[in-house]
Structure 1
Amino acid sequence: MVDAQQNVKKDRPVYRNIGLAQLIKYRLPWAGKVSILHRISGATLFLMLPFLLYLFDQSLASEISYQKFQAITGNVLVKIVLLGLIWSFLHHFCAGIRYLLLDLDIGVEKLDANRSAIFVFFLGLALTALVGLKLFGLY
């Protein structure tokens, strides 16, 4: 009986904390990458919400303030920041739908979950590219 318990203990994998140097080499599955990006995009949107609401309020205050904001958003750096916020929104939206489907037990199998994570990741990038083309006046 003691030998059987020792064999079980030896066969079990050992989980250790990952150090910062090992973090670069660690390969996270697609579902994990999408989950982390979902959290980052949600935090970004949450932290930027007061600023975005202020800008929206000021742009609606008068025609002059709207023209000021239109001139500001003509800057390339501002457009890149806006593109980052657009990606945050679109990725968070698509990943949120994926998580709602997972909550309904749709696509919870390992292969289906991996496929849906890859789909959500590239869908967010594709939608961001389309909006980016419009934002930069190329479409």
Structure 2
Amino acid sequence: MGKTVKKQRPVNLDLSTIRFPVTAIASILHRVSGVITLVAVGILLWLLNLSLSSPDGFLQASAIMGSFFVKFIVWGIMTALAFHIVGGIRHMMMDFGYLAETLEVGKSSAWASFGITVVLSILAGVLVW
């Protein structure tokens, strides 16, 4: 019978000490923003249906959109959508060869996508409020 070897590997259970690279953060946030966008489509379609159902439905939808909380949610949805689109364009530019697939270009394009998203998020805030 073979002898089992027990490997002593270091185990880090303190997640606050782990530092993800910017490319990993961009990738994770791209996936999260995609899920947020998918869920938001249902909410926004419901709101659109309500607003188009009748004049009273439009008034109801207008009243719903008048709430600060709802405006904040819509701003968050628009920010998630903006990040997802910017991240998707970044990935397509890499896939089509417009951006080199090197670590440095990956880092700089991830930072650029964060910066562009901040600008688009501010513009979304101006649009919502």
The unaligned stretches of length 5 or more in structure 2 are 1-8
**Alignment-derived partner of residue 86 in structure 1:** 78
4+ runs of 1 displaced by more than 4 Å? 15-18
Are 1:38 and 1:92, in contact at CA under 8 Å, matched by a contact in 2? Answer: yes
Matched, 1:107 2:95: no
Q: Of the candidates 97, 113, 120, which is equivalent to residue 120 of structure 1?
A: 113
TM-score, normalised relative to structure 2? 0.84
8 Å Cα contact 2:50-2:60 kept in structure 1: no
Considering only aligned residues, what root-mean-square deviation do their CA atoms show, in Å? Answer: 1.9
Of 59, 72, 82, which residue of structure 2 is paired with 1:67?
Answer: 59
The answer to whether residue 29 in structure 2 is matched with residue 37 in structure 1 is: yes
CA deviations on 1:57-111 (whole Å, 9 max, x unpaired) are: 1211122211211121111111111111011100000000001111123231211
Partner of 2:17: helix, strand, or coil? coil
Counting aligned pairs with the same residue, the percent is: 28
How many residue pairs match? The answer is 121
Q: Which ranges in structure 1 are unaligned for 5 or more consecutive residues?
A: 1-14
Structure 1 length-normalised TM? 0.78
